[in-house]
Structure 1
C-alpha cells in the first residue's frame, strides 16, 4: 500500500483569480471542473491525476482573509533555466499582481514573492538539480525535525528519500520525475496550519480507510476543520502539517 501526492491545495478568497495567476506562473493551464480551480500541464483537456507532475488546486474558502505576505509552513519553489528567464518571470509575475516578500532571506540568489492573496513562494535561480522537475522545482515544508519528517513521509508516500540530514530532508518520486518534496529545519516556523497543503491519493484498487489507518499508526492525527461528511480524510503529520487523503480515483 502507498499514497502519491497529486496536488498542492491553496486556499483562497478568489480561487479563480489565484488559479489564473498560478497558471501564468507555471506556464500551465487553469481548469474549472467544479468549485475549485485546478492548475495543471497544458493540453486542452484536464488530466487528473497527472502521471508525472503535482498540480495546484485552488480552493475557495468563505471568510478567508488575504495572507498579506505571510510565509505558510508549505510553499512552492519555481524552477528557471537561466538568469534571464528568472528575471523575466519575476517581472511578469509582478505585473500580474505578485509583490516582493521579506521573510528574512537576506541576500540570496532566488527571489521571494507573494501571490495576489499574499501566499509566499520563491522563483529560483537556475539549479542543475531542478533541470528536469518541470515548473515546480519543489514543495517546501518548514519543520522542526527533518529526520522525523523523512521517517514519516517516507512511509506515508511512495517517494524515495534522496537526502536526510539534521537540517534538510529531500524526497522525490521513485520514477525520478516531477518536483521534490523538501523538509527544511525552521525552528521558528509558525505553528498555525496555514493555507497550503498536500493532497494524497491511493492507487486504484487500494483502500482509503486502510491507508488512513496506516497513517494513524505512523503518527498522523485527525483534524476537524468543519469538513463534515466529506469523501476525503483530513489529517496532520506528527508536526501538525495538514494534509488530506482523497478517495481513490
Structure 2
C-alpha cells in the first residue's frame, strides 16, 4: 500500500483569481472557478487529474483572508539561468505577485507572495532542480526534519533523498516532478495551514486502510468543520495538515 502526493492545496478568498495566477505563473491550464467551488491548475489543459507527472494545484475558496503569519509550507519555483530568474520574477510581478520579506536577508533567490499573500520563492539556477518542471519543491517548515522524513517516507511512495539535522528531502521514486523538502525552523504552528499536500491512494487500494496505516505512523485526525466529505483530513506528527483523497 502507498499514497502518492497529487496536489498542493491552497486556500484563498477568491479561488478563481488565485487559480488563474498560479496557472499563468506555471504555464499550466486551469479549470473550475465556479462560486463556492475550487480552481484546479495543472499541466496541459488542466483536465488531466490526477496528474501523470508531478503535482497540480487545487485552490479552495474560504471566507477567511490569510493572516500576517508566514505560511509553514510554500512553493519554490525553478529557474534555468540568471536571466530566466530575472524574467520570471518580472513576469510574476506583472501577474500580481508582490515582494515578501520573511527575514531572508541577502540571498540569491527572490521571495514573493501571490495575490492573496501566500509566500513562494523563485530560486536561482540549481543543478538539482534541472528536471523538476516549473515547481522545484514543496517546502515545509518543521522542528525535526529527520522525523518528518521518516513519517512522509512511510506515508507516501516518494523516496527519501537526503536527511540531515537541518533539512530533508523526498521525491517521486520515478525521479520526476518536484521535491518535498523539510527545513528546520524555530517556532510551531499558530494558525491553520493555508497550504498543504493532498495524497491519493492507488487504484485497488482501500482509502480507510491507508488512513489507519497513516495513524499508526503518527498521523492524527483533524476536524476543520469539513463535515461529511469523501476525503479524510489529518495532521502529521508536527501538526501539518494534509488530506487523503478518495479515488476518482
**Same fold at TM > 0.5:** yes
Q: TM bucket by the smaller chain? A: over 0.9
Q: State the 1:31 CA deviation.
A: 1.3
CA deviation profile, 1:56-109 (whole Å, cap 9, x unmatched): 000001x211445x4211100000111111111111111221111110101000
Query: What is the alpha-carbon distance in structure 1 between the residues aligned to residue 46 and residue 22 of structure 2?
Result: 18
Matches within 5 A, 1:197-236: 197-236=196-235
User: What is the aligned residue count?
Assistant: 246
Residue 167 of structure 2 corresponds to 168
TM-score, reference length from structure 1: 0.96
Distance verdict in 2 for CA 1:215–1:45, change over 3 Å? closer
Q: State the 1:53 CA deviation.
A: 1.4
CA deviation profile, 1:212-242 (whole Å, cap 9, x unmatched): 0000111100000000110000000000000
The 4+ residue runs of structure 1 with deviation greater than 4 A are none
Q: State the 1:110 CA deviation.
A: 0.3
TM-score, reference length from structure 2: 0.96
Query: What is the alpha-carbon distance in structure 1 between the residues aligned to residue 131 and residue 188 of structure 2?
Result: 29
Matches within 5 A, 1:26-65: 26-32=26-32, 35-42=37-44, 44=45, 46-61=47-62, 63-65=63-65
Does structure 1 retain, via aligned residues, the 8 Å contact 2:189–2:239?
no
- Any unmatched runs of 5+ in structure 2? none
CA deviation profile, 1:86-138 (whole Å, cap 9, x unmatched): 11111111122111111010100000000000000000111110000000000
- Any unmatched runs of 5+ in structure 1? none
Residue 193 of structure 2 corresponds to 194
Q: State the 1:188 CA deviation.
A: 2.6
Does structure 2 retain, via aligned residues, the 8 Å contact 1:67–1:119?
no
Distance verdict in 2 for CA 1:22–1:67, change over 3 Å? farther
Query: What is the alpha-carbon distance in structure 1 between the residues aligned to residue 247 and residue 46 of structure 2?
Result: 21
Q: What's the Cα RMSD here?
A: 1.3
Q: State the 1:189 CA deviation.
A: 4.7
